[in-house]
Chains A and B, each alone.
Chain A
Amino acid sequence: MKDAAESPVIELRQVHKRFEQRPDLAQRLLALAGRAIDRRTVHAVNGVSLSLARGEVVGLVGESGCGKSTLGRIVAGLHPPTEGELHYQGRPAAGLRGADRLAYTLGVQMIFQDPQASLNPRQRVRQILGEPLKVHRLAPAADIPARVDAALSAVGLGTDYRDRFPHQISGGQRQRIGIARALMVSPGFLVCDEPVAALDVSIQAQVINLFMELRAQHGFTYLFISHDLGVVRHISDRVAIMYLGRIVEQASASEIFSRANHPYTQALMAEMPDPARRGRTFTPIRGEIPSPLAPPSGCTFHPRCPHAMPRCREQVPELKSVAAGHWSACHLNDTAA
């Protein structure tokens, strides 16, 4: 397929994801008696469009509850979107069948924050790494040990790790096992969900370096989900900032870190701890992150925004281009012009 190489690896088109609470027994009984069920809905992802070109690293930044992990899981095919479309190499992922479907599920792999929780505690490393090959019949049984050793060395671990259980491995090395497992099926796209957040500073640097080496060797595309702007600035080509289910700003890394447009992005940057800054007087933005169960009207950031206008309370701002390749969803951009 000629055009597959030119179309984005992953493209999200107006993707929504809603989680609904299932009515419990009492509610169902009341419903039989004719009372309407009050369904509490979390609109975790609210109309997100994002595309990732081959070999690109996109950093997805946001605070807890903003929907960044849900978005990552949609991309990896772990959650179907409630609305909107996910395209893999130019074709709608929902319509893929058979070998095409397998190419997508193997081609997009996920790396989780907590390798402790994502590795089976009762399996040895060689079983954890060998399983995907066995399940998908990607290699004859006799070749599996060699493939396991190759994956271990690709992530900088010795073959002596083969027979260990996850609990016999330290946090940083365990994350390497998580990465090795994703590599077993030769993916092209990695969704990394806070992969270094649980690691110590010196180990964090080792794992970030590993991600960059793997990218240089294999030309991987990454969706790199993190709340840590320092890490994101370091590794990303492009950055998308999420707040309560929406992307509020999107631009190349150098552009967004030098000319942040959205007040939320600006606030995040101001709060980014910086070892070069001394004896700072903290002037934080006010307010809590609102509950996704009851998001504010209009621009969801307006209750915390220092520049909020009456319009922000009523109207949801659209993502609009503010410079070449730089998009921001803020009403201020209309008034400033």
Chain B
Amino acid sequence: MNHNDILLDVRGLRTAFHTEAGAWPAVDGVDLVVRRGEILGLVGESGSGKSVTGFSLLGLIDPPGEVMAGEIRFRGQELRGLDEEQMRQLRGNRIAMIFQDPLMTLNPVLRIEEQMLEAIQTHAAVPRNEALRRCVEALEMVGIPSPETRLRGYPHEFSGGMRQRVAIAIAMLNKPDLIICDEPTTALDVTIQGQILYRMQQICREHGTALIWITHDLGVVAELADRVAVMYAGRIVESGPVAQILDAPRHPYTRGLLESMPARARPGERLRQIEGMAPGLAVRPWGCAFRPRCPNAVTRCTEQAPSTTREGERDYRCYAPITPNPQPA
């Protein structure tokens, strides 16, 4: 592994939400590495802290939330010490974000044109004509037909899939090094999701943009990502190359997620379900948070959260991991 390739290096990230009863850690010691041009799938169920992780990286956590600890090194620069103005220069320029609901990102009373121009002109003094040309280019890149006319439109005149394309076009305007995508296709229909995935993949290949793809859908991650990180209750419990993790998971939670997918079972067969449900922030169990639902749990799991075990390119946090090379599913 070439260390110059590392784009984003996160160590021990902790983000907590303050309540009257104390600070609840939504993200509890997350380590992440993203290399240039790489697609990292960040997988987890609701409440696992995957979105909060994404927001924390961009400095978008508002009170009562607070990034309590950790290092976020982006292109060798520590982001946590930057002031608001420096973060503004970075956001939308070197790091962009795409959200699940593009209506939330787009201003309903401004033409697409104004919103795109703003994204360019905030970061560089570009003449209007030149900037408009880049807007048209970006819309073409995401596959919006007749971009010159569409630039004059308002967000409500676009369908859901088209709006998400506009959001991607805006994210791509300044050719960022990294785009954080928070469930960008979850609200879309299957055939439209396919179109968006196709565009994102093309963009990454052509421009070398790295992606953090936050999702609950292991199917999409398997097809799209190079590496995957599985989150549970604020921690990354397993991470590594997609093929290794999905073919031979070491953490019981990863295996549980995989086995509960209907795609892996014979039709009509009872699905292997994970018992119970993910714990809320306030009631996370001591030790390993997955322990109450885990079939492999041992006494040690109740005492202390397992630290990270490294095994080749894979990391996992478990005292009783699944032994490799079981029967192929």
Contact = CB atoms under 8 A, between A and B. Distances in A.
Contacts of B226: 279
B273 A209 contact: yes
B241 to A, nearest CB: 10
Contacts of B222: 273-278
Contacts of B277: 170, 172-173, 202-203
A285 B191 contact: yes
Contact of A282 (B46, B197, B218): B197
B272 A278 contact: no
Interface string A3-19: 00000000000000000
B271 A205 contact: yes
Contacts of B190: 63, 227, 229, 268, 271-272
B263 A289 contact: no
B194 interface: yes
B191 A289 contact: yes
Interface in B232-263: 242-243, 246, 256-258, 260-263
Bin chain B's interface residue count.
35 or more
Nearest to A172: B277
B265 A234 contact: yes
B198 interface: yes
A310 interface: no
A127 interface: no
B160 to A, nearest CB: 8
Interface in A172-207: 172-173, 200-206
Interface in A115-132: none
A270 B194 CA distance: 9
B127 interface: no
A208 B223 contact: no
A202 B257 contact: yes
Interface string A267-299: 110111111111111111110110000000000
Interface string B179-196: 000000000011111110
Given A201-B257, A278-B243, A285-B191, A209 B219 contact: no
Given A273-B222, A282-B197, A230 B261 contact: yes
A224 to B, nearest CB: 12
Nearest to A208: B271
A233 B266 CA distance: 9
Interface residues of A, number: 47
Nearest to B187: A64
A235 interface: yes
Given A273-B222, A275-B246, A268 B263 contact: no
Most A CB contacts (10 A, CB to CB) among B191, B201, B258, B269 go to B191
Contacts of A212: 268, 270
Nearest to A200: B45
B267 interface: yes
A289 B223 contact: no
Nearest to B253: A202
Majority secondary structure of chain B interface residues (helix, strand, loop or mixed): helix
Nearest to B190: A271
Given A278-B223, A281-B201, A289-B191, A208 B159 contact: no
B46 A227 contact: no
B216 A200 contact: yes
Contacts of B274: 202, 205
B218 to A, nearest CB: 5
A307 B256 CA distance: 41
B161 A288 contact: yes
B88 interface: no
B87 interface: no
Given A200-B46, A201-B257, A233-B262, A273 B191 contact: no
A283 B260 contact: no
Nearest to A203: B277
A231 interface: yes
B195 A284 contact: yes
A254 interface: yes
Contacts of B257: 201-202
Nearest to A171: B46
B45 A201 contact: yes
27 contacts: A63-B189, A64-B189, A171-B46, A201-B257, A202-B256, A202-B273, A205-B271, A208-B271, A227-B190, A229-B190, A230-B262, A230-B263, A234-B271, A253-B267, A271-B194, A273-B217, A273-B222, A273-B223, A273-B263, A275-B258, A275-B264, A276-B264, A278-B222, A278-B242, A280-B224, A284-B197, A289-B192
Give the 6 A-B residue pairs with the shortest CB-CB distance, closest first: A273-B219, A205-B260, A284-B194, A282-B198, A234-B262, A63-B189
Interface of B: 45-46, 159, 161-162, 189-195, 197-198, 201, 216-220, 222-224, 226, 242-243, 246, 256-258, 260-265, 267-274, 277-278
Interface of A: 63-64, 170-173, 200-206, 208-209, 212, 227, 229-231, 233-235, 253-254, 267-268, 270-286, 288-289, 304
